[in-house]
Amino acid sequence: MMEPLPYSQVEAGYAWERRFTVTETHLLLASTLFHDVVPVHVDEEFAKRSMFGTRIAPGPLVSGFLAVTIGMQFAGTALAYLEQVDRYRGPVRLGDTITTRWKVVDKTDKPRFGGGIVTLAGICSNERGEVVLEATGKAIIGERRPDDDDDEEQT
Amino acid sequence: MSTARPFPSARTVAVGQSFGRSLTVTEAHVVLASGIFGDFAPLHVDEEYAKTTKWGTRLVHGTLVTGIMAGTLSHFFGPNAAGYLQEEMHFRAPTYIGDTVTSTWTIDDIAEKPRLEAAVVSLRGTATRSAGAELVVEGTARLLVRL
């Protein structure tokens, strides 16, 4: 697994991305887990006649793709995810491949956490380049995983 | 044949009205949420690692909780929910496997958009966990609801 990024290596302008293809499995499990069972998510015949033309994903599935894009980059150094603001700009349809991108806009040192608060701007777009979600996020990032301490002492 | 409950529309709800529901978050939720989000951070999937942290066990994904909160809006408005516009979610405390999460929303504003035959409904909401009714997420949301 990729090494998690420590707070000291985070700079304003640092950006990264991930990609996700939205499958039947995502729609079924997201609707089920969120208990979000409305026709646009589960009824293909209804969805065909809607403005979307096919079933669309629950918004929080895509919001979750954004959150995990932070979570995996900082897996182990992230101490807390504080907030996420999502502005939904367009539908995510079954079969779309979504690119999630985050860019660091600011960092504020918080020595008592052994790191600081990182503020990020995020965007999700589909394979046609259409923006489907714009977001901001805030997380507390530390220097290293707590269980790295032992390894440090041995070296 | 019984008649299905009519779903609320933007003109049958009022500012100040509250609604909500409760769901128990199980280990199955966390395993499946890791799968669909692709989130295999150790704090969600590695119990032995999680034991060494200050939380002592695996945590539920925050976006699973916000998904349940948004699902509560869908559940209430049903097919009259025409579009999810915006959400602002603040994560206040972790949610644990086995917690029953209660999601509650209150309507703050209803702005009719006659051209769309809908209204922008603004709400504020919370998610609390059963243990001590502790606040885990609070936020606001805006969605388009049919008239």
How far apart (Å, rounded) are the C-alpha atoms in residues B73 and B21? 10
What is the ipTM score, two decimals? 0.89
How confident is the model at residue A146, as a pLDDT?
54
A12: closest CA of chain B, how far (Å): 23
Classify residue A4 by its DSSP letter.
Answer: P
Let me know: does B89 contact A84? Beta carbons within 8 Å.
yes
Evaluate if residue B4 carries a pLDDT over 80.
no
Q: For residue A61, give both structure tokens.
A: 């599935």
The reply to whether residue A83 touches residue B88, judged by beta carbons under 8 angstroms, is yes
Q: Which residues of A touch B53 (CB under 8 A)?
A: 146
pLDDT confidence band for A148 (50 / 70 / 90): low
Secondary structure, 3-state, B74-115: HHHHHHHEEEEEEEEEEECCCCECCCEEEEEEEEEEEEEEHH
Amino acid A3: pLDDT: 81
Tell me the CA distances in angstroms from A84 to A29, A155, B66, B137, one per residue in order: 22, 38, 10, 11
Q: Is B71 on the interface with A (CB under 8 A)?
A: yes
DSSP label at residue A115: E
pLDDT greater than 80 at residue A150: no
Question: pLDDT tens, B50-61?
Answer: 999 999 999 999
Q: Estimate the crossing angle of helix A24-34 against helix A59-73, to 10 degrees.
A: 100
Q: How far is CA A85 from CA A132, B87, B138, in A?
A: 14, 6, 12
Using CA atoms, how far apart are residues B85 and B122, in angstroms rounded to an integer?
A: 10
Is residue B90 a contact partner of residue A83, using CB atoms and an 8 Å limit?
A: yes
Cβ <8 Å between A36 and B23? no
Return the C-alpha torsion angle A80, A82, A87, A92, nearest 10.
20
pLDDT of residue A154: 38
B20 touches chain A (CB under 8 A): no
pTM of the predicted model as reported, rounded to 2 decimal places: 0.90
> Contact at 8 Å (CB) between B79 and A39?
yes
